[in-house]
Amino acid sequence: MLELGQHVKEQVARRTEALHREVEEEMGDQFLRRTAQRKVFDGRANYLRWQNMRQKALQQRLDAEMMGWIVEAIECWDQKKAMENQEKELSDTDLIFEYLTKRAAHIDTGKLPLEIPVFKTMHASYSLPSMWRDKY
């Protein structure tokens, strides 16, 4: 699920940047030129008015188009590709687990003994209590 959320965020961020550029190109020069011709306010006030108008236009367009972008991003997400990428990335915990559970060195099985040696049973030790022999 994290990959899907990240994918959706990336898609929405890319679309939002494109929308910012589009609004800047469409409305920016036109608004500032028109307000400069009217000469009602000074340049700083006109720039503040432009920022406010741009913010309103962006908010309206984002409200109108955001749900469509999210749905489109979810539909174009490739889950198989995300799972393949996730399997390739091993975390430190996985690496340590593999190292501890698998043999760390290559052991030549040809040199290992074929039979397990049988040892003679040992007699009771003198350090054990004398009644030990009677019990067991």
The pTM of the full predicted model, rounded to 2 decimals, is: 0.53
pLDDT of residue 86: 66
Residue-level length of the chain: 136
pLDDT along the chain (136 residues), means of 10: 84 93 84 77 81 91 92 84 69 80 70 79 67 64
Alpha-carbon distances of 100 from 42, 69, 70, 94, 103, rounded to whole Å: 73, 46, 43, 10, 7
pLDDT of residue 126: 64
pLDDT of residue 39: 77
Lookup: tokens for 7: 């994918």
Distance (Å, whole) CA 104 – CA 114: 23
pLDDT of residue 28: 78
3-state secondary structure the chain: CHHHHHHHHHHHHHHHHHHHHHHHHHHHHHHHHHHHHHCCCCHHHHHHHHHHHHHHHHHHHHHHHHHHHHHHHHHCCCHHHHHHHHHHCCCHHHHHHHHHHCCCCCCCHHHCCCCCCCCCCCCCCCCCCCCHHHHC
pLDDT of residue 35: 78
